[in-house]
Structures are given as structure tokens and as C-alpha cells.
Amino acid sequence: MKKYLIAAALIVSFSAPTLALGTFYIMFDTKTRACSMMTSIPSGSRYKMLGSYKSERRAHKAMAGMAKCG
């Protein structure tokens, strides 16, 4: 029984980060002239989408290299 609990805990611990992944959007605010990372696309014409990424790490890396965000 104990080995099943350990196996279940390992499966949950390895699959949890995969389930937490989502889509991250880099948005440029035309009023403040600043970039921000969002998990959903805002409505309205205030923001311009600069890209969408599958992980937060990739979005941060891309945002650091963008001329508008620097």
C-alpha cells in the first residue's frame, strides 16, 4: 500500500507543472508605452499583442529581447 501512495505522489508532482502551463501574452500598452505579460487577451484597442508563448519562461526571455519592451 505504501508503494502505491509513493507512486501516486510522484505522478502528481511530475504532472502538476504540466497542468499549470497556459498561454502567456506579451502586450504593449499604447498609453503608458510599457510592456506587460498577461494570461488572457484584454479587450479594447489600448493594447497591442506582441506575441504569445506556451511558458512563462519563454515569454520573459522574449520580452527581454524586444526593442519596445526594453
**3 phi, psi to nearest 5 deg:** -70, -30
Q: Are 25 and 39 in contact (CB under 8 A)?
A: yes
11-68 pLDDT per residue, tens: 656 655 554 568 999 999 999 999 999 999 888 889 999 999 998 899 999 999 988 8
Does residue 10 register a pLDDT over 60? no
pTM assigned to the model:
0.66
- The strand ranges marked E within 1-70 are 24-29, 34-38, 47-53
Question: What's the DSSP call for residue 42?
Answer: P
